Homo-oligomer: A and B are copies of this chain.
Amino acid sequence: MTEPTRTDKRQHIVETAYGLFKRVGFHATGIDRIIAEADVAKMTMYRHFPSKDDLMVEVLAYRAGRFERQLDRLAEQAATPERKIGTIFDWYGRWFRSADFHGCLFAHALAEFGDPAHPVFQAGARQKNDLKRRMRLILEEMMPADEADSTSAALLMLIEGATLMARIGQPDTAIRDARKAAMAILAAPGRPQ
């Protein structure tokens, strides 16, 4: 606790920017609005983050970390691989129904920044690859590695598609249909254990 204020302010800026990027968008959110809502000086923000790009990357990293920790906690409560996958779909179902659901910030980052070399694009892509890897590792407990790879890809696609469908109006049917499809994929022939 040598410099509590510095850390608090930094985190406060990140969380405020997160809320704005989520609700308004990356390009559509200006620095002035972030500092006004966070109630900090512009120089305070620019001391912590050299540019808006850096702030966006930091917001995405913060969000990704929180997401990973929540899934870790849920996974350790689940006994079987099937249940671990189930808890991920559970998480998404609750998220879709939450009051401040505005779609996936990482998908939005990929949409707004078309250049694959841009750090914001890469931060978005990283979270998708991380989630796929998480599911692949779970699936490798119950199927061969190559099958786990393609199956984790399919589950990720269902999740991303469901997030988009939830965004355009049907959160309940989106998670229900995604879960149903996931069950069908996991019970696919060739691995009828």
Which A residues fall within an 8 A CB radius of B? 23-25, 27-28, 102-103, 107-108, 110-114, 116, 124-125, 128-129, 150-151, 153-154, 156-162, 164-165, 167-169, 173-174, 176-178, 180-181, 184-185, 187-189
Give chain B residues whose Cβ lies under 8 Å from the Cβ of A112. 25, 27-28, 108, 111-112
Contact of A158 among B27, B103, B158 (CB under 8 A): B158
Measured CB to CB, the closest approach of chain B to A190, in angstroms, equals 9
Q: Quick check: A165 and B110 within 8 Å, CB to CB? A: no
A23 to B112, CA, bound (A): 10
A129 to B158, CA, bound (A): 16
Q: Quick check: A177 and B150 within 8 Å, CB to CB? A: yes
A164 to B108, CA, bound (A): 11
A173 to B132, CA, bound (A): 13
- Name 18 A/B residue pairs within 8 A (Cβ), A-sorted: A25-B112, A107-B164, A108-B112, A110-B164, A110-B168, A129-B168, A150-B173, A150-B180, A151-B181, A154-B180, A157-B158, A157-B162, A158-B161, A158-B181, A160-B161, A161-B161, A184-B185, A185-B185
Measured CB to CB, the closest approach of chain B to A64, in angstroms, equals 14
A153 to B184, CA, bound (A): 14
Q: Quick check: A161 and B157 within 8 Å, CB to CB? A: yes
Given contacts A111-B112, A116-B168, 7 further A-B contacts (CB under 8 A): A27-B27, A103-B114, A129-B168, A150-B173, A151-B181, A153-B174, A157-B157
